[in-house]
């Protein structure tokens, strides 16, 4: 398992400990990927997981670019259309720096 896969597993477990329900992982489309999809009560949560060994160069949170945010939004829209649903949605980021988890809800 790669460090990225381990980080995604760690993020999934953290979110489940906080009461969210796992829906899907690594949902891929030709234009991008969603790391995790979770359910938080009646809200579908699209989660981007960012991992960095250290906080040098801005750390994990600063690794999220505007281009990536756009791709994630497009993927979420495609997922919603593919499943023919109309849920409340939220976009969260789990930033992991050297095993420290920072969960930012509704960050974009």
- Domain of 10? 3-104
Instruction: Check which CATH number belongs to the domain holding 51 and give it.
Output: 3.40.1350.10
Per the model's pLDDT, the better-predicted residue between 92 and 58 turns out to be: 92
Q: Is 14 exposed, middle or buried (0-12, 13-18, 19+ CB in 10 A)?
A: middle
Compute the residue count for the chain. 108
Domain count, the chain: 1
Q: Which carries the bigger pLDDT value, residue 40 or residue 50?
A: 40
Average pLDDT over residues 75-102: 93
- What's the pLDDT band for 69 if we cut at 50, 70, 90? very high
pLDDT beyond 60 at 103: yes
3-state secondary structure of 20: coil
Read off the DSSP letter of residue 15: H
DSSP string, 32-86: EEEEEEEEETTEEEEEEEEEESSSGGGTTGGG--HHHHHHHHHHHHHHHHHTT--
Residues of the chain with pLDDT > 90: what percent? 69
């Amino acid at each position: 398992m790669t460090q990225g896969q381990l980080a995604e597993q760690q993020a999934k477990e953290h979110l489940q400990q906080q009461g969210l329900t796992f829906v899907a992982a690594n949902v891929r489309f030709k234009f991008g990927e969603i790391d995790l999809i979770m359910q938080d009560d009646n809200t579908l949560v699209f989660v981007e997981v960012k991992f960095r060994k250290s906080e040098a160069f801005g750390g994990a949170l600063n690794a999220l670019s505007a281009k990536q945010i756009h791709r994630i939004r497009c993927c979420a829209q495609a997922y919603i259309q593919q499943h023919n649903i109309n849920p409340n949605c939220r976009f969260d980021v789990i930033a992991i720096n050297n095993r420290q988890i920072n969960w930012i809800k509704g960050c974009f």
